[in-house]
Structure 1
Amino acid sequence: MPTTSATSQSRSQSGSSSISIPQTAAAGGVTITQPPQTATSYFKIAQNNLVTFGWNMTSVLVEPTSLTVSAQCDNGNTYPVGPTDGIIEGDATQVVWDVYSWQQSHSNNPLPQGTCTLMICDERGYGASRLGGYMNPNSQLTFAFYTPQAYTPISSGWECTVCDHGFAAYASNPTFVTLSATVLVVFLSGFQLLRNAARAV
């Protein structure tokens, strides 16, 4: 079978090794394993709330020297993912991102409360051509960030808008008013019928 030759750098040795790749080899890729892609995942930007992205590589014959992981968000900004400015080992299968720490140390470029796309590529960059055996860039995962509301003590004027405040809450409810009026009409109508029946007798 005809083959082409590709060279990749091995991290375990100081030299490089030659890898023969069949001309019919498919382009490699990344399959996201965490979080699930069945629905958009929402990540809370809060202390000790770490975000983990995981993946598997498929049909990759030439192991990348490094991977670049970033989040391209709908505010137009792109953010490096993880503790090492988005650049991780080529054989990594996950990255853990402390989004709260990022938010605290990058107040001039905060993460948005909105939707982002996870971008993963090898050392060739996001615009690399599709080549058999090499990892193709991935941008299939969409996720979102949100920031929880700050705690407001009752002494500062906080009020529960869905709590039971007694009869006043029911009396101001349109459903309660309508039901009360209906019961009153039925009662008065029945009373009038009884009076008419008594007169007829």
Structure 2
Amino acid sequence: MAVPAAADVDSWIATQPERYRAALQAGQDDPVFATYRDQCPADVYRTPEQDTSGTRDCTDRPGWCMALCRAGQAKACFGLARAVEIELDVDGQANVKFPFFMAACAAGDANGCTNAGATAKKGNWIQNTRPDAAATSHCQVRTYETACDAKAPWGCFMLGMEYESSGAESGKTRDALERACDVDPDGSACDAARARLGQLSE
């Protein structure tokens, strides 16, 4: 499936399963969500007022999750973005999941910040719609620093990888990767960090 033409997000949404369309369109049209396109995840994050761990399953009721997300529930925002990743076409999906990850980030979910940053830089965007501010190297580093400081292990891993790709001295890369294991020694981010640390030692 070819990536749709520039600014053709509405047409892309129209091809998705019907139960998702209203939520996806709201993510594009809501003025608050629209402001996220021009912001760095690090700049919208705030310390959570409640527990934001875990994810909400939004595959069956995306409209319900959208209502909760608009009310500031980070789990619902994150769960909606993950439902997009799992259920919908890959080509162009970054356009519709990015605002939900950003909303999760703004509601205090550091994992949402990590995923928003990764989506901005590596996601599959409709042509000419990638958010410039969030995709810059400066924003990427600040986003993963913010997420890592908030004890999101994948944020620490991504920080290490960003340091490495930008040519930072190796100690900064190692420190960030080791922090992923400090945060969650048994998690998948630590597994990935250990593997990369092993490669760096070869």
Normalised to the residue count of structure 2, the TM-score between the two structures is 0.22
Q: Name the structure where strand makes up a greater proportion of residues.
A: 1
* Greater relative contact order structure (CA < 8 Å, 6+ sep): 1
Larger Rg: 1
* Between structures 1 and 2, the one with greater helix share: 2
Query: TM (normalized to structure 1)?
Result: 0.22
